[in-house]
Amino acid sequence: MIFGASSGIGKMLAQKYAAEGNMVAVAARREEQLLQLQKEYPSNILVCRADVASPAVEEGGQEGASVKGKFGEMLSALGGVDLVIYSSGMGKQNAAFDMNIEYSTINVNVKGFTALAAAVVEYGCSAGHHVQFVTVSSIASTRGIGISASYSASKMYQVRYMESMRQLSNAMGWNMSFTTILPGFIATDFIKDHSYPMTMQLPYAVRCIKRAIDSRRKSVVIDWRWSLIVGFWKCIPNWLWYKLPIKSRD
């Protein structure tokens, strides 16, 4: 089951798992892209239109349109699930603090993610087989980035949430695993309006990501070059990090 499968990482992961003969339920807001994907693998792809930013029932949203509701709909269609991937993501450079961007980012990267994580854990605790939950976070989670505050903070939220779930899973004896993917820049529509260094091509990045998922890695930076960069970032003292002239790139 893949949320955020209409393009980029989610779409290519769906293609790879379907090509292996797996039944794959794909979800995204842009249903037309999902239907095109289904045409490639008509026997292996199930489509569900879902908006992960839809309000939860507790916030006045409709149960059927909520992330939990869509998860249940896809679960029924599949008859069960072994692997759930949260590839949905929102983030823009926002040095001017446009609050529409901030709230949209939080709705997708925090609220939508949390709602799915809770639904997967509820299912996994009673499934009777191993269930793996994966989230595609970002290297932006490793340090606070001024021009993308809500993005780096919300991606760190995902990292810490997954870390907490691993601890809780061990304590409670769940038959579950939690994988956090932290990619560097990948050539997708997500960054099409900007130019970034060390941008990876999508097929290469997805091969690395799928390998980490299939190996049930706990947390992995994609790729090795970005792992070195992240290690370097963490060595930069806070006083110096705060003074770095990180500005918007076009």
pLDDT, tens only, 164-213:
999 999 999 999 999 999 999 898 765 556 666 788 999 999 999 999 99
Question: Which fold would CATH assign to domain 2-241?
Answer: Rossmann fold (3.40.50)
Domain definitions of the chain by residue range: 2-241
pLDDT, tens only, 27-43:
999 999 999 999 999 99
Going from the C-alpha of 13 to that of each of 103, 137, 158, 230, the distances in angstroms are 28, 15, 20, 25
**pTM summary value:** 0.92
Pick the closest to residue 139 from 89, 195, 94 (CA basis). Answer: 89
Query: 181 near 209, Cβ under 8 Å?
Result: yes
What counts of helices (H) and strands (E) characterise the chain? 9, 7
